[in-house]
Structure 1
Amino acid sequence: MKRGLVTESHVVIYCDTCGDVLTDADGESICFDTTHQAVGFLNVKVSGWSYDGDRVTCDACSGAAECAVKGHRWAPGWQQEIWPVSGAQAACNNCGITKSELAQEN
């Protein structure tokens, strides 16, 4: 039986692109006993995060990569350029970037 303060090692999943950590609903990083367990979790349970056998990619980076190739997906109501007038933020349905953030990048 272990008692007191014990140092143990665990596996935490980080995005290879941006360094974001995989967290639970409360924002706490998820700890796994083994790399195999972490990979199994990515392959079955996590929406948007992926592991290709070499690199881990978070949902945001996956979405940004897809948008770089296919373009952003705006909600149909945002096809008209009314957002600057109303002050509302149109966000890409895929990567989450807003039109104002996109305008600042360009």
Structure 2
Amino acid sequence: MKRGLVTESHVVIYCDTCGDVLTDADGESICFDTTSQAISFLSVKIGGWIYDGDRITCDACTATAECEANGHRWPPTWQQAIWANSSVEADCHTCGITKSELAQEN
């Protein structure tokens, strides 16, 4: 039986792109007993995290890469020509970036 303060090892999942840690609903990092257990968890593709056998990518980096490759997905009621001159915000359906955030990047 273990008692008191005991040092133990565990596996935590980090994004290879940005370094973000995989957390539960309360914002606490999820700890696994083994690397195999962590890989099995990722194979469920929980919350958009992807493991390709080599690299781990978080949901935010996955969404950003999707938008960089295929463009942003704006609400279907928005027309690009109207949207460009509008002061109303719209969020990309994929990555969540807003019109003003996109303008600041460019």
Do 1:83 and 1:90's aligned partners in 2 also have CA atoms closer than 8 Å? no
User: Any idea what SS the aligned residue of 2:46 has?
Assistant: coil
Amino acid at match of 1:22: L
TM-score (normalised: structure 1): 0.90
What is the percentage of aligned positions where both structures have the same residue? 75
- Structure 1 portions without partners, runs of 5+: none
Q: What is the alpha-carbon distance in structure 1 between the residues aligned to residue 45 and residue 61 of structure 2?
A: 18
RMSD of aligned alpha carbons: 1.4
- Structure 2 portions without partners, runs of 5+: none
Q: What is the alpha-carbon distance in structure 2 between the residues aligned to residue 73 and residue 66 of structure 1?
A: 10
TM-score (normalised: structure 2): 0.90
Q: What is the alpha-carbon distance in structure 2 between the residues aligned to residue 83 and residue 29 of structure 1?
A: 40
How many matched pairs? 103
* Structure 1 segment 1-106 matched on structure 2, within 5 A: 1-44=1-44, 46-79=46-79, 80-81=82-83, 83-84=86-87, 86=88, 89-106=89-106
Amino acid at match of 2:4: G
Q: What is the alpha-carbon distance in structure 2 between the residues aligned to residue 24 and residue 49 of structure 1?
A: 13
